[in-house]
Chain A
Amino acid sequence: MADYVELMGFGPKGWGLLMAQATLMTIAVSATAFALGSALGALVAWARIEGNRPLRIAADAYVTVLRGIPDLLVIYLLYFGGSQALTALAHLVGAKGFVGVNAFAAGAIAVGIISGAYQSEVFRGAFAAIARGELEAARSVGMSRPLLFRRIIVPQALRFAIPGLGNVWQLALKESALISVVGLTEILRQAQVGAGSTRQPFEFFITAAALYLVLSTISGLGFQRAEALGMRGVRRS
């Protein structure tokens, strides 16, 4: 036990600081990805509900493809494929050498577009849960569409979406572990490095598991609070 404390501590032989930095990286990349996914998800949900035919088909395709292929593949495609495509483009305009997609951007975008596919489904479901009568009532009093969107749809849809979004956030948090393949030092990659460098894999993987658990527990409490806040003033049936 004392050995473990020294190994994960902040002393000269301790990996505490590195693990803490890796935790911050996991939070940063997951949060960026989740935010990106929210924006994408909202747009796609709107395209699927209100869009014209081609827009709807495109949105459907996006959701089907991104939910249907392994997340690791998306990351590989973006990080390696993205760099190659950009380099080819750059050569087309006469530039030399390589153009890179930086690891953080590639990771956050990859997890973000996956998260977006899931979030669009959450938003669509939340919209469907709004009572139709409220929308008709709003229209019948002559409410314009932007006003209807802002006053009737957003407050209610967001409220209904919170539990689903909490789920998708946990997914993003765990998917961030896949980004270790692109060289971004998040919790899992740091644990692998520590395990290989000290030959004490068990200690590092247990610590990584505990860190993920702490992050998901804290954020889970956050979502619970948000849900309670969103539902105040709503009578539970």
Chain B
Amino acid sequence: MKLMHLCAAALVASLSLVTGASAQPKDWANIKIATEGAYKPWNFTDASGKLIGFEVDLAEDLCKRMKAKCEIVAQAFDGVIPALNAGKFDAIMAGMNITDKRKEAIAFTAPYGRTPSTFAVLKSNALAKLPDDGKVYSLMPDGLAAAEKSINEIKPLLKGKVIGVQTSTAQANFLEKYFKDVIDIRQYKTTEQHDLDLAAGRVDGVFASISYLKGVVEEPKNKDMTLAGPRYGGGPLGFGVAVGLRKGDPELLAKFDAAVNAAVADGTVKTLSTKWFGFDITPQH
């Protein structure tokens, strides 16, 4: 056993030399937060390489409240949860919705944003006629009946259509659960990839967060696109966007939770989201 310890120590020591490994103390005076850096306006990058956006501003505010020194790093979205659990960083703020599936792997704070999801289509497509009454249909138990009624209403219109969605997102789960039998779901690595295919007419529509799609259809080059269809939120579409943390860090979770609740309560989230989105994304309880 002793020999094994010695070997392990030697191996770790030699590898840490090569890789610049670090083991942080647990007082959480320093926190490393990961974001995607390519999801405008939640988090993105400017031409100088600086990370900016709603979540970057919010992270700064949360860290001030937690009296912690924070470093924000960019990480591709599809590797972000395993990387958190492997200890590459301590928290995720990347427009990530709370879902039951993700909760199996990581812990979440209270949500700091909740935006419904809807479709974007080409104006020339028949789907542009999908009804949108501006109301948000909640998939939580109290609103589920109304939401399912709306889903059943639009199903005939969507029959046989190809809908693009970003893979491993709450939106993809939603389509799988409610529309699998009528539409052809095409999954993409990133949202701008399905936008490209929408512009090329290769998909009939895309399904994503309205906070993101609003910006897309407002781009001059996307003047042929429009939002369409009912807005859905809650349930499989996520209980809101929150900070993702490792399950093994309850102290950090408590700290972040308190900071998020305070930022929601005193209107900081409202101010920041109005600045970046043009509307308030504060989750309503």
Measured CB to CB, the residues of A under 8 A from B are: 12-15, 17-18, 21, 76, 79-80, 83-84, 86-87, 89-90, 92-93, 95-102, 105-106, 180-183, 185, 189, 192-199, 201-202
Contact = CB atoms under 8 A, between A and B. Distances in A.
A181 B76 contact: yes
A204 to B, nearest CB: 9
A198 B216 CA distance: 10
Residue from the set A79, A98, A182, A195 with the largest chain B CB neighbour count within 10 Å:
A98
Contacts, number: 139
Nearest to A104: B19
18 contacts: A12-B47, A17-B49, A83-B87, A83-B88, A89-B11, A99-B23, A100-B19, A100-B86, A100-B88, A102-B19, A105-B18, A181-B78, A183-B73, A192-B190, A193-B44, A196-B40, A196-B44, A199-B40
A193 B46 CA distance: 9
A93 B9 contact: yes
A194 B15 CA distance: 34
Given A189-B76, A192-B76, A197-B46, A95 B23 contact: yes
A100 B22 contact: yes
Interface string B30-72: 0000001111100011111100000000000000000000000
Contacts of B86: 79-80, 83-84, 87, 98, 100
Interface string B13-34: 0011011111111100000000
B131 interface: no
Interface residues of B, number: 49
A201 B38 contact: no
Interface stretch (B132-140, B192-200, B270-278): B192-200
B265 interface: no
A195 B5 contact: no
B15 A86 contact: yes
Given A97-B24, A199-B192, A193 B8 contact: no
Given A90-B8, A195-B38, A197-B46, 10 more contacts: A12-B48, A86-B12, A96-B23, A97-B25, A99-B16, A181-B78, A183-B76, A196-B36, A196-B190, A197-B40
A80 B83 contact: yes
Nearest to B46: A197
Contacts of A181: 76, 78-79
B interface: dominant SS: mixed
A174 B63 CA distance: 39
A15 B23 CA distance: 35
Contacts of B36: 196
A196 B12 contact: no
Nearest to A89: B8
B143 interface: no
Nearest to A87: B87
Contacts of A87: 86-87
B27 to A, nearest CB: 12
Contacts of A102: 19-21
Given A80-B82, A83-B87, A180-B76, A90 B38 contact: no
A84 to B, nearest CB: 5
B34 to A, nearest CB: 8
B87 A201 contact: no
Interface string B140-167: 0000000000000000000000000000
Interface string B82-110: 11011110000000000000000000000
